[in-house]
Amino acid sequence: MHRILIVEDNKALAKLIAMKMSNELDFEIDIAYSLQEAKLFIKKYTYFLALLDLNLPDAPNGEVVEYALERELPSIILSAIVDKELRKKLIQKDIIDYIKKDGISSIEYIISTIKRLYDNQKHKVLIVDDSLIFRNQMQKMIKNMFFQVITVAHGEEALAMLQANPDIKIVLVDYFMPVMDGLELTKEIRKQYSKNDLSIITISSNQDEEVTALFLKNGANDYIYKPFSKEEFICRLNNTIEALENIEKITNNANRDFLTGVYNRRYFYANTQEYFQEAKQSGQNFGVAMIDIDNFKKINDTYGHETGDKAIVNLSQILTTSVDAKDIVARFGGEEFCIILKDMSSHAIKEKLELIRKKVENSFIKDLDKQISFTVSIGVVTSAEDSLEETINTADMFLYNAKNNGRNQIVSD
């Protein structure tokens, strides 16, 4: 479990912050009331970050900040000191943020910042700039926001890096670069990635409003003028990734089943039609299987709908962990699932489904002190019909036959 260190000599405030954090964050919280105590904690543990007061009994002039930075400990300053020059000086260091003590609102802001930093760890940012000095400065700043950072010198390198890392979420683009400038790169990126998938932020010393508009019209999400405020840049970058996350959540809510998290029926049809036609034309082998929990009504009637839901979730987990990433698992409704197994021989498909059948048969769900097992019946088509709908209907018919033949078995073409 990650740990957070609070260094604050006001014991009441430190305990309040720790309590608020414990309620909202899954972190271990340690409290040090002096620099000496902080040093002991830092030697003993590795911390996700530290929350530092500038004025401590044994370090009244912010010495704790220098100590934390020397040990590369990510730090947020929480201080009652409102000296603008001091704040400006500290912001330029490798701290995450400088927050004024302002009651509950400042604590809530700290907690939201920590949540943001924690989520940033899973996102990649690509910096594209021909200046090595600027790339290094940006890399340091963005790593301090807990992002994964990749840097390249020009547009062609950027396109190659995107090819190798399709999960990059934000691209920071300079305008003036050799080989391919920032505008050309923006146009090329937008041929492959929509604004819902990836954000482009242009960073340039060119302050021509027409150039700004040109970038925005051609797919840039934002345009930041050099030189820029570190705080402003951090806010813009965090806002950008939050917007992408919100789009992803909305998309997932539309495409995924609320109970299991696997794709829903609508998504399955929308994203399988094109593959189905292409696979048929190219002669690629694939299979479509319908899977249904046996005697599901009996599970609900005997143990209740909550246990029935557990069985559905358990089956969905077995399915998703048993197939390849390229395959699609969807819940069609109730206890019924449909999967498409791509680029696989008929024999391999049947072997895979038999493995799934056995996994389900040997698994169980817990209901209070009982272990409840269940089985599934499967109908699979490995020789596709004329359309996806007909193929699914045939698989459904085979599923019906599996049920009538005694359940807990596979019927195929």
Active site residues: 335
145, 238 Cβ separation under 8 angstroms:
yes
Q: Are 149 and 139 in contact (CB under 8 A)?
A: yes
What does the alpha-carbon distance between residue 48 and residue 41 come to, in Å, rounded to a whole number? 13
Cα gap 174→220, rounded to integer Å:
12
C-alpha to C-alpha distance for 315 and 318, rounded to whole angstroms:
5
Residues 6+ apart with CB under 8 A from 84: none
Question: What is the full DSSP assignment across 64-75?
Answer: HHHHHHHTT--E
* C-alpha dihedral sign at 324, 330, 331, 333: negative
What does the alpha-carbon distance between residue 340 and residue 139 come to, in Å, rounded to a whole number? 42
Give the β-pairing of 376-381 and 286-293. antiparallel
Which letter, b or e, does each residue of 222-232 get, where b requires 16 or more Cβ atoms within 10 Å of its Cβ? bbbeeeeebee
Residues 6+ apart with CB under 8 A from 337: 262, 290, 291, 292, 315, 316, 319, 329, 330, 331
Report DSSP state, residue 83.
-
